[in-house]
Amino acid sequence: MKPVEIETNVYWVGALDWNVRDFHGYTTNKGTTYNAYLAVDEKIALFDTVKEPFRSELIQKIFQIIGSRQVDYIIVNHVEPDHSGSLPAIMEILKPKKILCTFMGKKKLLEHYHREDWPYEEVKHGQTISLGRKTVQFIETRMLHWPDSMFSYLVEDRLLISSDAFGQHWCTSERYDDEVDQSELMKHSAKYYANILLLYSPLVKKLLETVTKMGLDINMIAPDHGLIWRGHPSKIIQAYDAWSNQKPKQKALVIYDTMWRSTEKMARAIGEGLTEEKIHVRLLDLKNNHRSDIMTEVLDAGALFFGSATLNNGMLPSMADMLHYVRGLRPQNKIGAAFGSYGWSGEAVPLINQAMEEMKMKIVDPGMKIKHFPAQKDLETCQEMGRKIGKTLKE
């Protein structure tokens, strides 16, 4: 794909990865993009690079735009290898005068590439540099989502180059938000937030407050993954504000795995009880739903039920994996309950309860264990559990 001029003399020079299907445990069923941007003025600045296998595409796009001119600055907003992997090759070929990054950015670049000889220059929050007619202002965004992270704001263009914030793992031939289906765009954006940034929600809130106080006039947001927000930049800012507040809806997820369908029958009965209380319910079998897709549903859910049969004095491996994943992302403002079947020991339910306690979820039912196959009275008790938690969600 050719370079795309997104503002006057500012170009998208990134790469499309149609085939990637996993991003360290997050399913990317529609690929992703590695966005890099080139600002051409009296001085030339490259904002981030691309994943190493796509370096030739990046280099070709840059030369197509600047010919024999020299790149003055490489601005490293984020050191993660999907954005800096091409940097060693770029340094050898383009020989920029400076690498601009945060203090932690320099530290991370040294830890990744071990090149003391590169021309590093540390920049601070609020600092500006002039490219000529264009001014770049730096906004440090530490731990969104790495210690090195920062934004770059092109003042005259009102363009925010936002690193890993406001992105999506979604590969398309289109480059802008207003060129694609809006419901799918927001679905990918929510999945990205739920699986990458949810843990840092308090910092997202502070960042939005900082941007407001700085009075930045934002006409376009250019993230490092996915579509550029040209048509509706306020839409994704408002979504991040809502997601960072983690205000739950009247929505419940019944997440489970089963051996001989006993736990599945319990899950369905719990779902029936929730439905009777007019709660939006989703039953999510771990055999058929990936953890990262479930996490997207967790983003706005108010109640989480976790169900597992007991295996080898523990829970099923799929449930252990799911709980470990959820724990790492630390969702807030959830209530929960555990359920499951067993043959002779029944440890799964107390272990799930322990995991929910560690996540600081409010456990509103001690949990339900059923030996072997549930009788009708057991299913009625499961329905009552659903009704009880449905009522609690509406309080």
Average pLDDT over residues 230-237: 90
Cβ density class 129-147: b for 16+ within 10 Å, e for less: bebeebebbbbbbbebbbe
Residue pointed to by tokens 């419901």 = 183
State the Cα–Cα distance between residues 105 and 142, nearest whole angstrom.
10
CATH number of 4-245: 3.60.15.10
200 is catalytic: no
C-alpha atoms less than 13 angstroms from C-alpha of 20 in its C-beta half-sphere: 23
Among 48, 82, 257, 365, the active-site one is 82
* Kind plus residue range of the DSSP H or E element containing 339: strand 335-342
pLDDT per position as a tens digit, 302-338: 999 999 999 999 999 999 999 999 999 999 999 999 9
78 is catalytic: yes
Position 212 confidence tier, pLDDT thresholds 50, 70, 90: confident
State the Cα–Cα distance between residues 94 and 63, nearest whole angstrom.
9
Average pLDDT over residues 356-382: 94
Three-state SS for 267?
A: helix
pLDDT per position as a tens digit, 6-35: 999 999 999 999 999 999 889 999 999 999
Among 24, 92, 117, 395, the active-site one is 24
**Mean pLDDT for the chain?**
96
145 is catalytic: yes
The DSSP 8-state label assigned to residue 54 in this structure reads G
Sign of CA dihedral 194, 200, 206, 207: negative
Among 148, 164, 177, 264, the active-site one is 164
Among 37, 72, 78, 153, the active-site one is 78
C-alpha atoms less than 13 angstroms from C-alpha of 259 in its C-beta half-sphere: 16
pLDDT at residue 145 in the model:
87
Q: Residue 185 has which token pair?
A: 């765009």
pLDDT at residue 329 in the model:
96
**Quick check: bond before 145 cis, omega within 30?**
yes
Percent of the chain whose predicted confidence (pLDDT) is above 90: 94
State the Cα–Cα distance between residues 367 and 354, nearest whole angstrom.
11
pLDDT per position as a tens digit, 113-134: 999 999 999 999 999 999 999 9
82 is catalytic: yes
Domain boundaries, the chain: 4-245, 251-394
Structural contact between residues 1 and 16, judged by C-beta atoms closer than 8 angstroms: yes
Structural contact between residues 286 and 255, judged by C-beta atoms closer than 8 angstroms: yes
Q: Residue 305 has which token pair?
A: 């039920």
pLDDT surpasses 90 at 232: no
24 is catalytic: yes
pLDDT at residue 116 in the model:
96
Beta bridge partner(s), residue 135: 130
pLDDT per position as a tens digit, 140-164: 998 888 899 999 999 999 999 999 9
Structural contact between residues 126 and 35, judged by C-beta atoms closer than 8 angstroms: no
Residue pointed to by tokens 């009625």 = 380
Structural contact between residues 325 and 371, judged by C-beta atoms closer than 8 angstroms: no
pLDDT per position as a tens digit, 270-307: 999 999 999 999 999 999 999 999 999 999 999 999 99
Axis-axis angle for helices 233-245, 182-192 (nearest 10): 40
What amino acid occupies position 365?
D
pLDDT surpasses 90 at 213: no
pLDDT at residue 327 in the model:
96
The DSSP 8-state label assigned to residue 238 in this structure reads H
112 is catalytic: no
Closest CA to 390 of 370, 353, 365: 365
pLDDT per position as a tens digit, 241-277: 999 999 999 999 999 999 999 999 999 999 999 999 9
CATH number of 251-394: 3.40.50.360
pLDDT at residue 226 in the model:
97
Closest CA to 30 of 228, 216, 187, 221: 187
pLDDT surpasses 90 at 395: no
pLDDT per position as a tens digit, 165-196: 999 999 999 999 999 999 999 999 999 999 99
pLDDT at residue 211 in the model:
86
Among 72, 80, 140, 177, the active-site one is 80
Among 17, 72, 145, 224, the active-site one is 145
Among 193, 225, 264, 365, the active-site one is 225
